Structure 1
Amino acid sequence: MTAHDSTTVLGDTASQASARAKTAGKADDMAMLRTAAEVTRDIGTARPDIYWPDMLISAAVGYAALAGAILIDNAVLAIASGIVSVLALYRALLFIHELTHIHRNALPGFRLVWNLIVGIPLLTPSLMYENVHTLHHARTRYGTAEDPEYLPLALMKPWSLPLFILVALLAPLAFLIRSAILVPLGVVIPPLRKLVWEKFSALSINPDFRRRPAEGEFARQVFWQELGASIWAIALIASVFAFGWRPLAIALVVLSGVAVLNQLRTLVAHLWENEGEPMSVTAQYLDSVNVPPPSPLAVLWAPVGLRYHALHHLLPSLPYHSLAEAHRRLNERLGATSTYAEANHPGLFVLVARIARSTMVRGSDRRAPKRAEAA
């Protein structure tokens, strides 16, 4: 490394550290928060005429394309069908995010039907996200060690990013083993049941997160969802004896594609620059990401409103179909130089490059935060 390169790296480190400190310590922009609440009062109701067709059509296309990937003999067409299946099932699966935020009486029957046709068949029932994701939105938990969905990825070592993506490849197999073997064994082995619930029953990325026991109505939902997922997982394994390994193997490959795509989206959902301190709502917003139009591919890798993830952190209960209109109104009211505009980013690859640069700079700094080093 030349003297010039060394100076550049040191400058980048100081600049990024200064930017992180500025964001983490940022007080709430009350004008932005008030405006966000005001301009969205008339679009806060979840519309069943949008939710139901979107979810059902996405699932139908996904399963039809998966059948094509399994049954078509032509390799090119089978691969193309598999890609369509990944994208459609990914969209259907991401309605799990909406289930954690919409009012329980907003869409009668939607949670049950989603679990029956998407959550359980994909071995990701809503119990894996409900009462977990809401902790990520808790005012005093976001970005701290108690946040199940946060790691300071931008402050970790460079090899952490590819590992973060690649581990998702094994998620479908892990879910299959969990539901087919570990959950049934847990019925007769209480310590195993406790371990599976605490460590392997949440869509979290924080390895230190432990789930608390389910209670009340949620505990009853967990019982039926676990029962359904276990029966389905055992049936999938048994199907090998009737149909051979090929159908199950192809299905697992497609689901691995869904998991990797979701992990890539997760990687750019935030800037991941908080070192564990509690943050204001505005600071949480600025550590989150909007990828608004005209970014052409965001509708595929961040569907169901997730291209407006920063806006979602401002208004968690706003239904996904209202986020684009809310974004338009806020841009119009607040302008391009506002705090609101600071969370808008141009696209996936720019965000990945930003986080990768940060890890490379941070990797040369031996004073990395303890939480990041431990990870």
Structure 2
Amino acid sequence: MTQTLSLSDYLSKDEIKAFTARSDVMGWLAIITAWSGVALIFWAMALASQGPLWVAIPGVVLGSILLAGRQLALSIIVHDAAHGTLFKTRALNYRLTDWLCARPLWNDLAKYRVYHLVHHTRTGTEDDPDLILRAGYPTTRASLTRKFLRDLSGIVGLKYILGRILMDAGVLKWTVTGEVVWLPRDKTGKFEHIKQFLKNSAPMVLSNLILFSVLALSGHGWLYLCWVIAHLTFFMLFMRIRSMAEHGDCERSLDMFKNTRSMRAGWLVRALVAPIGVNYHMEHHLLASCPYFRLKKLHNLLRARNAVPEAVSYGEVIKMMSRLNPQGQV
């Protein structure tokens, strides 16, 4: 039987300590950069909307695509905060990030943290809560195209929102994958579910109301609709690409050198599907306490020591995930 290697076989204790040092400054930088990007995109969309249709329509569409990329950045920031690596300060990780980054995306950092840490301990097994995200790969090019079109049509996004409503109402088990798990019915009745929904959804409603109010006061309240549409369409597409790149068609085992992969990402890919260093996903699983801004350095060091394979591009990942022929064969 081949012995499974661990990160300590390649890094010393002092190196691991250095890689896991956190920074409040870098945490603030991630949040400020993400929201500054959102503000800049909104400004550009408002400016484009004042021009002729041949400028306004492409401008709004392009802006919505870029907005989805910033929404994914906020989502990855939530992910890092759930690991306690975004800030050194506990309250900044779990309170501030929840309100500034999770709630505007209809997420709950505390629930996500409990859920996501199970993924890290059970990656690649039947107990992995994210297993549904890697299922079905590789597939055919036609099948992957249909998945992408369902994302862009808003079908997946609307199902996601419906699921969130039912989760907040205590009808479905909380998850981030869209998996439907009905909770046992009790005798409290529908009024208790309404009460739970109002309580659980209140932070999301408040944070989005603030965002809408800021846009409305600027004279461009219609931009909030672009925020919603971007989340229901392009964000879902980017999340799919990210998920299948990280674990799709990887070995079903607990070996983190084999159940996860890392990807190369140029500036455009980082803006859309790989923000905040999330493309170095194998390194993240190997050392989940490593902050986002040290993942690239960790990857380069592990590559130099022949510990991890060369990162692939997202284009190569899409080809790998759609390599089956119509008969379901490679």
Same topology, TM > 0.5 = yes
Superposed, which structure 2 residues align to 1:201-350 within 5 Å? 201-204=174-177, 207=179, 226-231=201-206, 246-255=222-231, 256-274=233-251, 279-281=253-255, 284-292=256-264, 295=266, 297-300=268-271, 301-332=273-304, 334-335=305-306, 340-342=307-309, 344-350=310-316
Larger radius of gyration: 1
Aligned to 1:48: 24
Superposed, which structure 2 residues align to 1:122-271 within 5 Å? 122-127=105-110, 129-138=112-121, 141-150=122-131, 151-155=134-138, 159-169=142-152, 170=154, 171-174=156-159, 176-177=161-162, 182=166, 193-196=169-172, 198=173, 201-204=174-177, 207=179, 226-231=201-206, 246-255=222-231, 256-271=233-248
1:101 aligns with 2:83: yes
Give the SS at the match of 1:98: helix
Amino acid aligned to 1:29: L
CA shift at 1:153, angstroms? Answer: 3.0
Cα deviation digits, residues 177-234 of structure 1 (max 9, x gap): 556x646xx7xxxxxx3323x1xx32126x376799xxxxxxxxx9976321245568
Taking structure 1 as reference, are residues 174 and 230 closer, same or farther at Cα in structure 2, changes over 3 Å only? farther
Of residues 101, 108, 111, the one that matches 2:94 is 111
For residues 244 and 331 of structure 1, the distance between their equivalents in structure 2, rounded to whole angstroms, comes to 48
Give the SS at the match of 1:129: helix
User: Matched residue pairs, number?
Assistant: 302
**Most deviating of 228-237 and 64-73:** 228-237
**Most deviating of 161-170 and 323-332:** 161-170
Give the SS at the match of 2:104: coil
2:138–2:320 contact (8 Å) kept in structure 1? no
Give the SS at the match of 1:132: helix
TM-score (norm 2): 0.74
Cα deviation digits, residues 1-32 of structure 1 (max 9, x gap): xxxxxxxxxxxxxxxxxxxxxxxx864125x5
Amino acid aligned to 1:349: G
2:46–2:220 contact (8 Å) kept in structure 1? no
Taking structure 1 as reference, are residues 130 and 78 closer, same or farther at Cα in structure 2, changes over 3 Å only? same
Of residues 322, 325, 329, the one that matches 1:360 is 325
1:145–1:208 contact (8 Å) kept in structure 2? no
Give the SS at the match of 1:147: coil
Taking structure 1 as reference, are residues 41 and 127 closer, same or farther at Cα in structure 2, changes over 3 Å only? closer
**Identity over aligned residues, as a percent?**
15
2:138–2:248 contact (8 Å) kept in structure 1? no
2:23–2:86 contact (8 Å) kept in structure 1? no
Give RMSD over aligned pairs: 3.9
1:91–1:303 contact (8 Å) kept in structure 2? yes
Give the SS at the match of 2:98: helix
For residues 330 and 45 of structure 1, the distance between their equivalents in structure 2, rounded to whole angstroms, comes to 18
Taking structure 1 as reference, are residues 296 and 232 closer, same or farther at Cα in structure 2, changes over 3 Å only? closer
Aligned to 2:188: none
CA shift at 1:48, angstroms? Answer: 0.9
CA shift at 1:126, angstroms? Answer: 2.0
TM-score (norm 1): 0.66
CA shift at 1:310, angstroms? Answer: 0.9
CA shift at 1:261, angstroms? Answer: 1.4
For residues 60 and 104 of structure 1, the distance between their equivalents in structure 2, rounded to whole angstroms, comes to 18
Gaps of 5+ in 2: 185-196, 214-218
For residues 301 and 128 of structure 2, the distance between their equivalents in structure 1, rounded to whole angstroms, comes to 30
CA shift at 1:309, angstroms? Answer: 0.5
1:44–1:318 contact (8 Å) kept in structure 2? yes
